[in-house]
Amino acid sequence: MVADKLVSGIRSYMEKNGFKQAHLGLSGGIDSALAAYLAAEAAGRENITCLYLPSRFSSGLSGEHAALVAARLGCRFETLPIEAIFIAFLAALEGIFKEKPFDIAEENIQSRIRGTILMAYSNKFSSMLLSCANKSELATGYCTLYGDTVGGLLPLGDLFKTEVYETCKQINERESRAGNTEIFPQAIIDKPPSAELRPNQKDEDTLPPYDVLDSILKLHLCEGLCAEEIAARGNDFELAARIIRMAERAEFKRRQMPPVLKLNEEEKL
């Protein structure tokens, strides 16, 4: 199973770099839930800390889901709201932003506040920070530089979003067969993915549905096809071209990512 390979990779990487503990931001979404599971399996649940860092846009359900996953894993769980820090940033920038409308700048500030807190924890407790970005996000640049991408390792960096879901389902099935409680609540699997950086935000506001996105990314990254060739496989040309442009424009971000646990060495990303 893919999960077993990733667990082995995390364990080996932590041992080689002298880390006995690891931590991550547990958002209540599927990616961080999977990363938390892999970390707990790799280092032992007693050595993993999950930090929930809500902002004004975090839903109550996200907090409940994060706490539930941490409880099922048996990991330490802490909630550190970022609202007061976010307000201070907005106040400091008020003059220079000159009443410009809320946009990606304010969205990314929240992610970078979280990254700073997570790195502070890493420094204070000699704990390795795991970033929870997946391959679909890295490919398209749907991640915040110096924000949700900070850390010592990207364990999900070679898993497309659809593969994240599939891996979680496989883990749940294995736990169920063993007579254990499923790790990932169905509510987390079913809910629409969201960065929760603005009101009612959904990933599909910016990206195509992940099944569509990943099918095109695989043709481009795994088979090296251009937009015309992808369209010849039955896909929309304009959408394929748009996704390829996103991947090309995100190269500067990928150059600055933590190490990725590679599963497919032949791919170009």
Domains in the chain and their CATH numbers? 2-197+250-254 (3.40.50.620)
pTM for this structure? 0.95
Which residue is associated with the tokens 């599971």?
37
Nearest alpha-carbon partner for 153 in 179, 127, 172, 185? 127
How many CA atoms, within 13 angstroms, populate the side-chain half-sphere of residue 61?
11
The pLDDT of residue 267? 57
Written as one letter, the residue type at 260 is V
Residues 136, 155: Cα–Cα separation, whole Å: 13
| Consecutive 10-residue averages of pLDDT for the chain (269 residues) | 96 97 98 98 98 96 97 98 98 94 97 98 98 97 96 98 98 96 95 93 94 97 96 97 98 96 71
